[in-house]
Structure 1
Amino acid sequence: MSFPSRRLSVQAILVVATGVLSLIALSAVAVAVGLAIRSNVERSVFADTQRAATDWIGSMDTARPPPPVTTSDVNLLQLVDSSGHVVSASKAAAGRPVLSEVWPPSDDRIQQHTECTDSGCVMFTASRPSPQEEQVLWGGESHVVFAGRDQPAILSTYRLELYLGAGVLTASALLVVTAWLLIGQALRPVELMRRRIAEVTVTDLGLRVPEPPGGDAIARLARTANETLSRLQEAVNHQRHFASMVSHELRTPLTGLRAQLEESRLYPEMDPRVAIRDALVTVERCQLIIDEMLMLARIRTSPHRPALVDLSALAQDEAALRSTKVPIQVYADEPVVVCGNPVQLAEVLVNLLRNAQRHARSRVEVRVRRVGGLAEVSVLDDGIGIQPEDRERVFEPFARLVEARRREPQGSGLGLAISRAIAEAHQGSLTVEDSLQGADFVLRLPLPDDTTPVPPAR
């Protein structure tokens, strides 16, 4: 089911909501104002008619008083006896029938009413003189004075409602226009951000959205968008650099493979088994590069399943498997348990041990310990070491120093890059530290606390 609000913009939805709410609120105010005006007009009219009746009664001194002289809007005055005959009347009321058949009782001598006929509505006060006045003037016979006037137009028509309705519609329209302008101005930075983000392409990630001043939600959104674009640009640049290095590393063995195959085709007298053997060596190198490249991509993008891993036991096991080469001495006085992927952490230790044995002269030392809230694994060899300016470059994919190329010409240059990626995926770090001799690779991983959700050790 499709709702109209889904097809409206945020600005239109807010403006419609403003219009509806303002119409409801102003209508309620208009109804209250209309009722108050009507009530005030009625009270004013009845107060005038009551005053006119009281004044005329107070001026009577004979049984048939002369017609009263009216000087206000209350121009309909009649004195009626108990038989219903008009004894005296004002000029406007002369010749008219009795204004009403209402006859106030002695205990409620003043009553106010509105009566309507075909000629219109009259608002009047029926006032009965006191018993003493009736006794003095008419020998105790009851009389009633009617004082009234035609109902004001504001009460007899819907003119007031029309005026109030027009005012409500006008005010609502002004509020809607004002809301449209104000909301449009408030959302203008968002529209500018949308347009700028729409201009961002893979080939040009250097654009940034304009950041409005202040610390409101829109300003925070702009800053977050720029931070996201910066991370995206950094990731794309890294991928481009990585793809360029992969292409470069694969081009050399593939070019050699093609040369070997073409040579075997051009010179049939060559032993094909030698050509196949050399081609297989080249294919194995390409496969090694591709496998390690896929591993590096999976580490950076795939979540690992955590488990409790004892780094001390892991280091001793891996060192025992590699004891046939340069001797490895492991110093681990106590279990050091971290939360991580055991297969990936074992891959880090294998890479570090392989790298250390490749460059060591006589020995490799592995130390596993706790330092503060971190688990620390140090792999130290007694080789020539790594210069300070090269300590970060060795972790770049396919980066190989001269000594590494000399000792292992067929290496891929991805082992240390994979190891650092695994460390960072585990919220840790892998760096080269200062040492008196050789290269000291230090892996640091956070120790689990009571709030770390991990399965039991297996």
Structure 2
Amino acid sequence: MSRLFGSVRARATLAATLVVAVALVAAGAAVLLSLRSNLLGEAGTQAERSARDVATELAVGTPYADLSLDVDDRPVQVVDEDGTLVAASDDLERITGTGVETVEPRPAASPDGTGDAGDTDDADDDDDAGEPLEAGEIGERTTVSDGSATIDGDTEDYRFAAVPVKTEDRGRLTVYAGAPLSAEHGAVNTALTVMLIGFPVLLAVVGWVTWLVTRRALRPVEGIRREMAAITASEDLARRVPVPGTHDEVARLASTTNETLAALQTSVERQRRFVADASHELRSPIASLRTQLEVAAAHPELLDLDGAVEDTVRLQHLAADLLLLARLDAGERPADARVDLAALAREEAGGRAGVSVREDAGAAGGVTVAGSRGQLGRVLANLLDNAQRHARSAVEVSVRRDGDLAVVGVADDGEGVPEADRERIFERFVRLDAARSRDDGGAGLGLAIARDVAVRHGGTLTVHDARAGGALFELRLPAA
């Protein structure tokens, strides 16, 4: 059960069904209340109409015996101001809701049935009981109440309307007339029965349709999940998840997943190449150093101490480069210190033969950036090492300001870099001169480290043609 309701499809179906159920209950209750209110209002209108018809007859002096009390077999009572029943419908056996439960009239009438002919001129005494009325006038206010009545053995619920009337010879009378509520009860019960039967069916249809639509909508997601599980099990990052042709959120999810897989594949392949190349680069100095040590162990007089030291230094530099690249790949954030690039350039160029530093007039006060002084110094050192390695005679370092950017250029007068290789030289373990020895050419990590550091500092490192005909490496960083 927990697994069933743990699925998106089940939760969506349940939520949709509950929302529709609440809406149906609210709408059904509103319909029933409105229907009952309208039918009760109509019954009240009918009862008032019947009561006013009888009140009109009383107002013109119609005797009790001649009143139209049995129209449509509806209960009618005429009560005097003392609460005595003076006229009632024939066959009325029981009544409630009017305040007068007697059904046998006891009129205080004269023998001719015209009512008490006593003195009724004192209208003020009669008017104290309710709405002031003149003789022969019917009251405007109607009192409505609910009750029941039994007529000729049939008992029903009624809505009663009470209408006051003032007569000349019989004083103030009240006419109670009822209209049956059977139509209201029948309509409400029918509507309730239809709702009780129809609502569950409608909810079942809503749930079934939501289940089908959700399953169809989530089918591509299940395909993506299965493919991702297969990729995880097989560790084959070359595989891709299926992209549905719906151009919706699921399709965009699949496309993003494939982009993530592609980036992950590139990263893993790059990491594998890096490990392989690092192992290859470490093998040569280690093998050379081991050979020298083995020879020295057997023949101490043949020990090449300078070569051993050189191989050890090369191993130290390579290990430092690999450690820095590992930290950069791990996302290490550079320090947020203020670095004067002009001062840093003079410091790195000091002691290097054939290297000059040129500062533009706008940079006389120093060009400052935010970052790690150590890492930026490593960038300049790598660029200078590369320039000296390829220069014929001179290397020039320039520092200038270009808008919001600080620009450091390192130019040599060598052969330059072919345009087709200007991006490849920034890859790790890449050396364009295949004939160059490893000792002279390095491991091919200097420019890769320089670009990675530049990117980590929010800048760029590119190569162009220098004015002297060699290569010009430009480091552009946001100025502080």
TM interval, shorter chain, is 0.7 to 0.9
Q: Displacement, 1:242? A: 1.4
1:337 alignment partner in structure 2: 368
Which of 388, 392, 395 is equivalent to 1:364?
A: 395
- 1:89 matched to which residue of 2? 89
1:242 aligns with 2:240: no
- Deviation at 1:419? 1.6
Q: Distance between the aligned counterparts of 2:85 and 2:358, measured in 1?
A: 130
Query: Against the structure 1 CA distance between its residues 48 and 276, is the aligned structure 2 distance closer, same or farther, given a 3 Å change threshold?
Result: same
Q: How far apart are the structure 2 equivalents of 1:384 and 1:85?
A: 129
Whether 2:341 is the aligned partner of 1:311: answer: yes
3-state DSSP class of the match of 1:400?
Answer: coil
| Aligned residue in 2 for 1:26 | 24
For 1:12 and 1:219, how far apart are their aligned partners in 2?
A: 22
Preserved contact between residue 340 and residue 426 of structure 1 (Cα < 8 Å): yes
- 1:368, CA displacement in angstroms? 1.8
Match of 1:456 in 2: none
Tell me the residue number matched to 1:112: 144
Counterpart residue identity of residue 238, structure 1: R
Is the 1:197–1:209 contact (alpha carbons within 8 Å) kept by the matching residues of 2?
no
The letter for the 2-side match of 1:52 is S
Does 2:446 align with 1:415?
A: yes
Q: Kindly indicate whether residue 223 of structure 2 is the aligned counterpart of residue 225 of structure 1.
A: no
With normalisation by structure 2, the TM-score equals 0.73
Distance 1:329 1:117, change over 3 A: same
Counterpart in the other structure of 1:444: 475
Aligned-partner residue type, residue 295 of structure 1: L
- CA distance, structure 1, for counterparts of residue 172 and residue 321 of structure 2: 120
**Matched residue, 2:125:** none
Maintained 8 Å contact 2:16/2:210:
yes
- Give the Cα separation in 2 of the matches to 1:142 and 1:153: 33
Q: Give TM-score, length-normalised by structure 1.
A: 0.76
1:452 aligned partner = none
Residue 466 of structure 2, aligned match among 412, 419, 435: 435
Q: 289, 296, 303: which one pairs with 1:274?
A: 303
Contact kept in structure 1, 2:75 and 2:88, CA below 8 Å: no
Structure 1 residues 316 and 277 mapped into 2: Cα distance closer, same or farther (>3 Å)? closer
Among candidates 318, 340, 343, match of residue 289 of structure 1: 318
SS in structure 2 of the partner of residue 112 of structure 1 = strand
SS in 2 for 1:413: coil
The structure-2 alpha-carbon separation of the partners of 1:44 and 1:254, relative to structure 1 and needing over 3 Å to count, comes to: same
Q: What amino acid is the match of 2:430? A: A
| Amino acid in structure 1 at the alignment position of 2:328 | I
State the distance in 1 between where 2:130 and 2:70 align. 27
Q: 1:404 to 1:382 in 2, by over 3 A?
A: farther
Relative to structure 1, is the Cα distance of residues 120 and 368 closer, same or farther in structure 2, using a 3 angstrom cutoff? same
Matches within 5 A, 1:87-236: 87=87, 89-90=89-90, 92-93=91-92, 96-97=93-94, 100-102=98-100, 107=132, 108=139, 110-116=142-148, 121-127=157-163, 129-132=165-168, 135=169, 140=170, 145-148=175-178, 150-152=180-182, 154-155=184-185, 159=189, 164=195, 169-201=200-232, 202-210=235-243, 213-214=246-247, 217-236=249-268
Q: Report the secondary structure of 1:304's partner residue.
A: coil
CA distance, structure 2, for counterparts of residue 188 and residue 431 of structure 1: 47
Would you say the 8 A contact 1:394–1:416 is kept in 2? yes
Alpha-carbon distance change, 432 to 59 in structure 1, aligned in 2, over 3 angstroms: closer
> Does the C-alpha gap of structure 1 residues 404 and 413 become closer, same or farther in structure 2, counting only changes over 3 Å?
farther
Root-mean-square deviation (CA), in Å? 4.0
Alignment gaps of 5+ in structure 1: 450-458
Partner in structure 2 of residue 75 of structure 1: 74
